[in-house]
Structure 1
Amino acid sequence: MNTPERAIVLWVPDWPIEAYLRTQAREVPEHERVDPEQPLAIVHDGRIVVCSASARAAGVARGQRRRDAQSACPGLVLLPADPGRDTRAFHAVLSSVEQIVPGVEPLRPGLAAVRARGPARFFGGEESAARAVLGALTGIGLTGARTGVADGLFTAERAARAATTEPLVIPAGRSSEFLAPLPVASLGDPELAVFLSRLGVRRLAEFAALPEELVRDRLGAHGVRLRALAAGADSRPVVPRVPPPELQRALDLEPPLELAEQVAFAVRRTADSFLAGLGEAALVCTALRIVIETDRGERSERVWQHPSCFDAPSVVDRVRWQLQPSPGAEPFTGGVSRVELEPEAVDDGGSHQPVLLGQGPDERAHHAMTRVQAALGHRGVVTPVASGGRWLAEREEFAPWGEKVSASSPRELPWPGSMPDPLPSEVFREPRPVTVAGAGGEAVSVTDRGFVTAQPAVLEGRGVISWAGPWPVVERTWDPTRARRAHRFQLVDDRGAAWLAVLEGGAWHLEGRYA
């Protein structure tokens, strides 16, 4: 086995929480932002993934059930897990380290490594190089990072986790001594840790002392690899990442501009440069993040979608539309001083090349809709999309052309009382009043216990040959002005037509018709 390579490992404790705090300034409204001093925890599948130091002091632990964690710390603030957010936020950390130490390998969000040999020569020692890495992170406001230097990535990571605010350097050839007292669970294989503990092997020194032949026979190549890690013989080298091309573009305006048309005209050249950079990387932008700042500290950030891919005019249109005040939002009071363009989602440029002999009907329709939208504004052209809701009429939502439906009422959420598939093929926007009566002409109603007072036999003069229901729909009982209590029925008349009927407030109406 090869001699382990000296490595510097950078570790940011509780990185998912740190990533949330660093991104909430631009992604979370100010009134919804959390206080960093509060006990915080990331939850996934009902269990705590990571928690802050204040939460751990209150009794919260990783792997704990959410209910147990909230019982131990009633003031615990639960945050959603988002691996994509963690990765995106860690890019800024990697870029800062690469400014002083080239050749960074991201191991996972919150953990990175560099070769120690080159930086140690440049900075005059491994400890000085590790301090320089910490100093680079201090420049971006990250003060809780830890660094460790040792033979191999595994030992260097263990050293970083054991370090304080000062780097922890394990001398060359002393890795096995440092790892010896650590538990076998530190190898990151829970099943192996349980198996070894049953054999009485609880420390890495005890695992490393086992004969390699016996480990191979019982645990295979994976066990031999973990035994080498326990002995401090980590042969995997640092594999530096290839820094991604800088695709973001920014325009600083001096003096600031107050008219939207002026800003749109000024940003055109930046949009061309932005798209040219994507073209050099053989990419196209399908989702664009635009950040606009004013000289009074105001900030607007939004992600725009495109049904195909952005070109320069469509980028300029989005900047213009974002400068227009949205319903319920406060307009800018200052002049625009900075505009940033950043790709939120990209695609292979080869799949978006124009065809040789004309374009298909979908592409022509897209160009036509885009031209109309440019003339009428962002919401001048809308398209219907399925949304969430209990009533059929409210499940239709209109989204601007090229945009995704808003997350205000997503389809994926549970909607107790909503109709399952198949849904009516025709939905009446305005409810159609009807009369439903029993065989003797008596009115059909529903008791407080959910039973019909008479079987539906007549629907607006037609005989009812089959029916099903009632299915209750109860909404907003806490709000007297918006509360609704109704019952749904499916009715089939003697002409073969099927209807979705609703009894509400003693009156009947039709909500839809089945094909």
Structure 2
Amino acid sequence: MTRVDRVLALLCPDWPAMAAAAMAGVGADRPVAVLRGNRVVSCSAIARGDGVREGLTRREAQSRCPDLVVAQDDPDRDARLFESVAGAVDATVPGVEVLRPGLLVLAARGATRFFGSEEAAAVRLIDTVAVAGAEAQVGIADAMSTAVLAARHAAIVRPGEGARYLAPLPVAELAAEPALAPPQRAELVDLLHRLGLRRIGDFARLTPADVASRFGADAALAHRLARALPERPPSARQLPPDLTVELDCDPPIDRVDAAAFAGRALATRLHTALTGAGVACTRLAVTARTEAGEELSRVWRCARPLTPPDTADRIRWQLDGWLTHRARPTAPIVTLRLEPVEVVAAGALQLGLWGGEGEETERARRALVRVQGLLGGEAVRLGVLSGGRGPAERITMIALGDELAPATDPAQPWPGRLPEPAPTLLLLHRPTVELTAADGTAVQVTARGLFTADPARLRWGRKQWALLGWAGPWPVDERWWAATDQPGSAARAQVQLDAAATEIRVVLLVYDADSWHAEGVYE
């Protein structure tokens, strides 16, 4: 039997709010909220008890809780203050890896062996964090992501029971932890809700092939999380040589601003080396050596490969924490070292078409500019995500060299927008098709946005197929105030073709001027 290395995750709930309270000298009995862009992004448990929630505006939050202490979002502050917690845990159980300020993980085997059991290790670490002036919850499971979700509920998952533990949790948990989920994960959760998959177990029962083909790369990662599998499959990839980068600090560093400047330069050198080796870093060790011979080291782990800005941020946060910590080094820093602990293939990091900002990128740009000179400025265009309800409206094509500004704001809600996923192929000429019911009558859309009959067959040119299913219609109600000579109601619908359609399985239809048109296909 293969031994499973259990993972212990330690979470300080509402850490941005706790860090803001500590910085302001506010007691634990005061409600605190942290704002970003005039909206609440974190709040204390006391504020939550008064009705404050993430996403509320400042005015709404203060109306619910007049005594609310408000602070602005500051990742540097959060990381600086979390170093005392990470240091205390590392002194108790070595091998701490920080996922983000407020969340760290470590191997559970060493802690269990030292303290006697997983329960005893969890209690001891919670007490250690309490001495450091913070509150913590512990989760233990076979996979890191499962342990992190278990820490949100202060649970210890029995070996081999990860999938069973996750199954009854709401599917929204897949997007609840920013260290595990990118921002766009919320769109996937919304789509799963609309499909009727309300629990993590419902999503886990889908096959990996169906998830990857229908929902995309991030959904495949979320599916592994839902099945309590490791974030990435085991890899035999060895660390390429000469990836470690060092910087001799002359003069020695004893100020945070100087440390941040040095960190940016070192991050650039590291990612140049990673790009040359064709890999991306997911675990990074940041090490500093002082004039007095002290050596400080901390490992940062990321669920996704680090980008150069991500690396620079973590270096700045770590050095800020060391230089401002109560147990700060006794001498200035003379050497900084970055050492990749774990790498993945560079394809896991979705860079631009030619990778980073190296010589290859500049050569490609010069080639494209030459094409523009030969064929005209509009010959080379880039697609920019825009706002809109239909698939064509959500892409703005902009000539190379012009400002990449979308025609409409994609951040707006756009009620009535076509549900995800988008078609794989967009048909700009929109060929006319016929949608009929089982008795052969034409299917239309009423003024109330409903089908006149259930669709049963689709005729496209000389071909026709029976339908296995359909979704919609979704009314297109735009510019209702403008006069139009086109009668009828506009709407979109999706239809799934039978097995006879080998190349096209699902078609996006648009109903306009009493006729149906094919707007896109899902291959």
Range of TM-score over shorter length: 0.3 to 0.5
Larger radius of gyration: 1
Relative to the length of structure 1, the TM-score reads 0.44
